[in-house]
Amino acid sequence: MSANRITQAETELRVARCARIIANGGRRSDCIRFGAENWGVGERTIDRYLMKAREQIKADWDIERPQMVADLLAQCSTLQMEARRSGQYHIALGAINTAAKLASLCS
């Protein structure tokens, strides 16, 4: 194994880091810069990581619409309950309104 080879586990960590950068609004160029500064790798390597990262992101969201709506409604419910407990009623109302829209109760 050459000095430049990394383990499968390290590759998976790098792919996950690229996925996190993209999920947080980063671009390919942000991943390239991060890879160069932190891992000493070039564009081609980052593009391979990004290909795997995007496959993972797509798989995370490749669910049926009713399941996605149910997941989002559950998150809205949790958010509005936590907001009420902390006295952030405007956040609670926003969560309730969002839940109503998701459930197609209002536009």
Structure tokens at 57: 């992101």
Number of H helices, E strands in the chain: 5, 0
Residue 101 predicted with pLDDT over 90: yes
* Cα–Cα distance for residue pair 14/5, rounded to 1 Å: 13
pLDDT at 2: 42
Residues 6+ apart with CB under 8 A from 21: 30, 31, 34
Identity of residue 25: G
pLDDT tier at 1, thresholds 50, 70, 90: very low
pLDDT tens readout for residues 39-90 = 999 999 999 999 999 999 999 989 999 999 999 999 999 999 999 999 999 9
- Output the pTM of the full model: 0.70
Return the domain boundaries, the chain: 8-61, 65-102
pLDDT at 5: 85
Identity of residue 101: K
* Cα–Cα distance for residue pair 107/96, rounded to 1 Å: 13
* Cα–Cα distance for residue pair 46/19, rounded to 1 Å: 11
